[in-house]
Amino acid sequence: MSSPAINLFFALFSFLIFSVSSSLALSQSQTKKPATVQTLNVAAAEIKMVNPKLPPRSLSLTSSKRYEGSSDLVHLRYHMGPVLSSSPINIYVIWYGRWSRPHKALIRDFLNSISDAKAPSPSVAEWWRTASLYTDQTGANVSRSVLVAGEYSDAKYSHGQHLTRLSIQEVIASAARSASFPVDHKNGMYLVLTSHDVTMQDFCRAVCGFHYFTFPSMVGYTMPYAWVGQSGKQCPEVCAYPFALPGYMGHGGPGELRPPNGETGVDGMVSVIGHELAEVVSNPLINAWYAGEDPTAPTEIGDLCEGLYGTGGGGGYIGQVMQDRGGKTFNMNGKGGRKFLVQWIWNPNLKACSGPNSVD
């Protein structure tokens, strides 16, 4: 099961398995180099492209010349299950807890950016094209069209302020009844978003979000869903990295980055939402695209690129990203001039992590 942006130890050590080149780069005793900086004009605004502590490519031992998570050891396989290929993919958002209008608008703008072809490159829509490369056994691709088809707010915490993987199904069942969401087996999925004051089983310790599917015995039917929590007041250093850093990374690292929309918790949440959505559409019933042999703990297309946001990333290095004049960091443009920092996902054609801001 996906575990996005969890404990930064995962970002530091998972590449021992998935990226031989990254782990070797970290193990070398290198003289620290200043961040690589370039300046270019984007929409008449000065933008810096920075890549803090870029590891040397010369240490790569894989056959791929791409550094970002590429490895001959990764065996992502198709297990014959469905992907979300019908167009559009209808997302039914459940806002659990108290959410401010600006925070809702930020997340909504990200979701609406997935299908917005008008946003300047590098864009969220271009990022989603990688997810659309995944197909089912009929050859049908994951849809490029994503729609927020319905929303429901549960501001009264109808199932309490501590949830579990099981009680999240009850949250979905209550919302589906109250909002009269359609039973959208073919096109739909639920996205459950919990506010900063709601705790979740394993949240901050092992997960920042997860996805699965509903049980007919609890919801009445089977439909994929994802849950993501707002970590701003609980564990931003775990689930909103790199906008907050754990104490053990306080010295010698690139430093925490300024969020693109000024909201550490919600900006960090956007990347986790992207991670989970990419995995839902490519593995909605946990029997489609994943690496490993255990379907109860699959390594999915977001997990393989944990902590990667740009060229040169891997093993704790976020890669090359952009900063505006105010120092706000992003790697993608979205709807209405919004900017986001969203992790890359695994590209099945390149057999490496990729994103629209790649300079390879």
How is residue 253 written in tokens? 């690292």
pLDDT for res 49: 81
Q: What is the pLDDT along the chain (360 residues), one digit of tens a residue?
A: 544 444 444 443 444 333 433 333 333 333 334 444 443 344 445 788 876 553 343 333 333 334 445 555 578 999 999 999 999 999 999 999 999 999 999 999 999 999 999 999 999 999 999 999 999 999 999 999 999 999 999 999 999 999 999 999 999 999 999 998 999 988 999 999 999 999 999 999 999 999 999 999 999 999 999 999 999 999 999 999 999 988 776 555 557 899 999 999 999 999 999 999 999 999 999 999 999 888 888 999 999 999 999 998 877 689 999 999 999 999 999 999 999 999 999 999 999 999 999 987
Give me the phi and psi of 317, to 5 degrees please: -85, 125
Q: Is 161 left (phi over 0), alpha (psi -120 to 50) or beta?
A: alpha
pLDDT for res 207: 96
Proportion of the chain above pLDDT 70, given as a percent: 79
Task: Specify the CATH architecture of the domain 79-301.
Answer: 3-Layer(aba) Sandwich (3.40)
How is residue 128 written in tokens? 């989603």
How is residue 90 written in tokens? 């209808």
Give the strand order in the sheet containing 146-154.
146-154, 89-96, 188-194, 224-229, 209-213
The span from the CA of 321 to the CA of 318, in Å, is: 8
Domain residue ranges in the chain: 79-301
The span from the CA of 160 to the CA of 204, in Å, is: 18
Residue with tokens 């096109």: 187
pLDDT for res 248: 72
pLDDT for res 62: 33
pLDDT for res 29: 35
Q: What's the pTM?
A: 0.84
The span from the CA of 353 to the CA of 66, in Å, is: 9
